[in-house]
Structure 1
Amino acid sequence: MTILVAYVARPEGKAALDKGIEIATRRNEPLVVVNAGPGGRDDASVVDGYEGERVAERLATLSVPAEFKHFVRGKSAVEEIDELVHQLQVSVLVIGLRRRSAVGKLLLGSTAQEILMTVSCPVLAVKAD
């Protein structure tokens, strides 16, 4: 079994990473951290090389096998995460949530909601402090 974390370089992504590390370490399960998005100038969810290196360096210090995957292949983050859920034996997917207004949810949609409705594994949603 594998713990999967959906990571973005925002407080809610860092909270998800912290919780994923905690769970993987406690359960002694491998950890995969993924950052994905279609790419392009307007895709704020995709991390830059420096941020990806920082995450990979942190994962290298863990007592469990851990890796960072970064996908910018024209697919949505939800598509990439769903593919990983099917490829890996994911015991839990950890995602971060941020507070949004009702209008914001209506106009922009919610990646977290789409993940919850799409993936076939349990999902743990965490909020940033």
Structure 2
Amino acid sequence: MTDLYSTSPRRFPAPSLRVTASPDVDAAEATVVLALRTDSSPAVLDQAIAAARRERAALRAIVFGTDTTTAPSTSPLAECTRLGASLAEAGLAYEVQRAGSDLAEQVLDLADRHAAVVIVMAAKRRSPVVKLLLGSSAQQVILEAECPVLLVK
């Protein structure tokens, strides 16, 4: 009998989401996770860099284009490499990833795997109706994170 409901096994491994990283990022004892929307204000990156310096932590960033649970997140590689250059210039240990299919899960997984001291996220003002219909990655992260979450507009 044919099983129509299960997915076939992957023939190829999933590609890595990591776009760029400093050589010393995996040796860092503490981590700040940054979820950076491509159209967010410079204050979001400034807050994340300040938190990483204050905590003497590596900065692991995920660059994304949209913040809904129903639309795929996009992150142009040029944005990721530009962010990597900015973090290298700031003198931080860093990793920059492109967004996967579930931004909230990716942020939470990164924070959990590296014992994040804080998560910094770009926040966008939405009406309660739009949040109800489209969902929000930020809401899911706030509800499920085991460390403090800093939302910056």
Superposition TM-score, scaled by structure 1 size: 0.81
8 Å CA contact 1:60–1:66 kept in 2: the answer is yes
- Bigger Rg, structure 1 or 2: 2
Secondary structure, counterpart of 2:34 in structure 1: strand
Q: Give the percent of matched residue pairs that are identical in Structure 1 and Structure 2.
A: 32
Give me the whole-angstrom Cα distance separating, in 1, the residues matched to 2:91 and 2:54: 10
For the residue of structure 1 that corresponds to 2:96, the secondary structure is strand
Mapped to 2, the partners of 1:97 and 1:71 lie a distance apart of 16
Could you give the per-residue CA deviations for residues 71-124 of structure 1, whole angstroms, max 9, x where no partner exists? 43xx40011111111110200000111111122112111221111112211111
Distance 1:81 1:36 in 2: 11
Report the RMSD for the aligned CA atoms in angstroms: 1.9
Unaligned runs of 5+ in 1: none
Q: Paired residue for 1:116?
A: 142
Question: Which residue of structure 1 aligns with residue 14 of structure 2?
Answer: none
TM-score relative to the length of structure 2? 0.69
The answer to whether residue 39 in structure 2 is matched with residue 10 in structure 1 is yes
Higher helix share: 1
Query: What CA distance in whole angstroms lies between the structure 1 residues aligned with 2:46 and 2:142?
Result: 20
**1:53 aligned onto 2:81:** yes
Aligned amino acid, residue 120 of structure 2: V
Give the 3-state SS of the residue equivalent to 2:33 in structure 1. Answer: strand
Contact 2:38–2:75, Cα closer than 8 Å, also in 1: yes
Higher relative contact order (CA 8 A, sep 6+): 1
Report SS of the residue matched to 1:7.
Answer: strand
**How many correspondences in the alignment?**
119
* Aligned residue number for residue 121 of structure 2: 95
Secondary structure at the counterpart of residue 46 of structure 1? coil
Aligned mates of 1:27, 1:56 — CA distance in 2: 19
